Structure 1
Amino acid sequence: MTSDLLSRDEIRRRVDALGPWFHNLDLRGVPTAPTHFLGDYPNVKWRRFAEIIPDDLTGKSVLDIGCNAGFYAMEMKRRGADRVLGLDTDDDYLAQARFAAEVNDLAIEFRKLSAYDVGQLGETFDLVIFMGVLYHLRHPLLALDLIREHVVGDQLLFQSMLRGSADVDEIARNYDFWTTSPFDSPGYPKMHFIEHKYADDPTNWWAPNRACVEAMLRSAGFAILAHPEDEVYLCRKVPRPQQDGPVYPVRGAR
């Protein structure tokens, strides 16, 4: 069935059958998550930083890692991106994304693939979106390394849940073994580990502070171009400061 033949009642029936939804999408007047605890999410967040993405993405390719129901992938296609690919590991989210793109008459490809496996794509993209995924991963820095190495051609749009201080200390490039006071500062890069659940979600493994995500981005080989929203960064791919690759050998003094 083509999208122009779908009635509002049919869209509503399909939305209910594919639920529950985390993205609140407007599918021809049918909201997918109208009672979302964050409000009209993710549109309410997108409006706070949408201007950092060019209005015209003609000729550009976009990869959305952890696309969920496809909100950001669809926004990029609406701005004219030639190729948009959305990845997720959840079959239910992928089904939602495919249906939403169909209703909106947007030609977007969706595949089941994890952030750790992006090297299988064998291609790079002008813009890679990595929003709301880092803290769900048991190995977040490895994922950043792999994403930079394999799929980022130019820019990365990044977001993570942040907890702790918003301060960012100026960190020395080295400290001797007996210097411990910087670690106690709220502005030192910190990643809080969640052993069980946070917000009733057992996949919320990490809660970094601002200093931590900024340090991780730099370490993975990204220069921060803009920080338009508390949790959002636009970055450009640059040479990594330490060339130790995505698998870390044991080095240093013993």
Structure 2
Amino acid sequence: MDESDDLSRRIAELGPWFHNLRIGGIQTAPDHFLGDYPAFKWQGFRHVLPENTSGMSVLDIGCNAGFYALEMARRGASEVVAIDSDAHYLRQARFAAEQADADITFRQMSVYDVGSLGRRFDLVIFMGVFYHLRHPLLALDLLHEHVVGKQMLFQCMQRGTQAVANLAHDYDFDDDTLFHQDAAPRLHFIEHRFAHDPTNWFVPNRAATEAMLRSSGFAIEAHPEPEVYLCRREARPEHTDQPPRIVAADR
């Protein structure tokens, strides 16, 4: 068996893959239902991050097979930490990093446990995780309180209108007009499954995504794609300035 055959065997043994990586010229998920994912998505927003990340510390939350962590390492980040709650994905990510000779620290942990890292990062990547969480606002609060130092790259599946209503800061109890506007913040709860996935719990529209980010202390700096935001950490709004009481919990 030559080296290529051995590499193909090892990649197959680590399957199934959700990230279509290229390892030694071999694609890990060439028949992905979304296409060349996440590479084709990356092309739409990669420009909002520095081409040279030298000197930056990066935390990739829900890293899956490590596509974004690998990209940050390739761009020269001084430190890359990648976490995921799924041991299967971490095995893939460690293998991919080993093959790329990338210096990435991997840890199996939930987003709810980020307080245990005990530090902040220049950039936190929080892509494709939010809608899989039973407690999404708690997660944003924990990120703001414990690990986001400067910026966060955020992505969440969205459904509904891309319009955003211009809302007042308060409404009378008897005024229900807010709740009849499609462009008002809406967060849809999925009791059973969506896209055959039992971990899809909440799906916001655009207005809800942006409102939740702002309410958690994240100012939107760039919106390069409909579901992708580059955010800057700032002070939390006055009415939500108390830090979350729960520092860590099992997912």
Instruction: State the match for 1:226 in structure 2.
Output: 222
> How do 1:47-196 residues align onto structure 2 when only pairs under 5 Å count?
47-196=43-192
The residue identity in structure 1 corresponding to 2:241 is Q
Q: Aligned partners of 2:194, 2:5: CA distance in 1, in Å?
A: 36
User: Per-residue deviation at 1:164?
Assistant: 1.0
SS in 2 for 1:200: coil
State the Cα deviation string for residues 60-101 of structure 1 (Å, max 9, x = none). Answer: 000000000000000000000000000000000000000001
Provide the aligned length of Structure 1 versus Structure 2. 243
Q: Aligned partners of 1:193, 1:80: CA distance in 2, in Å?
A: 40
SS in 1 for 2:200: coil
User: Per-residue deviation at 1:247?
Assistant: 4.1
Could you tell me which runs of 5 or more consecutive residues in structure 1 were left unpaired when the two chains were aligned: 1-5, 249-254
1:136, 1:206 within 8 Å by CA — same for their partners in 2? yes
1:58, 1:80 within 8 Å by CA — same for their partners in 2? yes
1:8, 1:29 within 8 Å by CA — same for their partners in 2? no
Instruction: State the match for 1:197 in structure 2.
Output: 193
SS in 2 for 1:98: helix
The residue identity in structure 2 corresponding to 1:233 is Y
User: Per-residue deviation at 1:188?
Assistant: 0.5
Q: Aligned partners of 1:7, 1:109: CA distance in 2, in Å?
A: 26
Q: Aligned partners of 1:8, 1:168: CA distance in 2, in Å?
A: 51
Could you tell me which runs of 5 or more consecutive residues in structure 2 were left unpaired when the two chains were aligned: 247-251
Q: Aligned partners of 1:7, 1:191: CA distance in 2, in Å?
A: 49
1:220, 1:240 within 8 Å by CA — same for their partners in 2? yes
Q: Aligned partners of 1:31, 1:37: CA distance in 2, in Å?
A: 14
Q: Aligned partners of 1:47, 1:66: CA distance in 2, in Å?
A: 20
Instruction: State the match for 2:24 in structure 1.
Output: 28
Q: Aligned partners of 1:231, 1:174: CA distance in 2, in Å?
A: 27
1:162, 1:209 within 8 Å by CA — same for their partners in 2? yes
Runs of 4+ in structure 1 over 3 Å off? none
State the Cα deviation string for residues 135-165 of structure 1 (Å, max 9, x = none). Answer: 0000000000001110000000000000111
User: Per-residue deviation at 1:7?
Assistant: 2.1
State the Cα deviation string for residues 12-64 of structure 1 (Å, max 9, x = none). Answer: 11111010000000001110000001000000000001010000010000000
Identify which of 33, 37, 45 aligns with 2:33. 37
The residue identity in structure 1 corresponding to 2:243 is G
Q: Aligned partners of 1:113, 1:158: CA distance in 2, in Å?
A: 19
Root-mean-square deviation over aligned CA pairs: 1.1
Are residues 1:212 and 2:208 paired?
yes
SS in 2 for 1:62: strand
> How many percent of aligned residue pairs carry the same amino acid?
60
SS in 1 for 2:159: coil
Identify which of 235, 239, 242 aligns with 1:239. 235
User: Per-residue deviation at 1:244?
Assistant: 2.8
- The normalised TM-score by structure 2 is 0.95
Q: Aligned partners of 2:179, 2:25: CA distance in 1, in Å?
A: 51
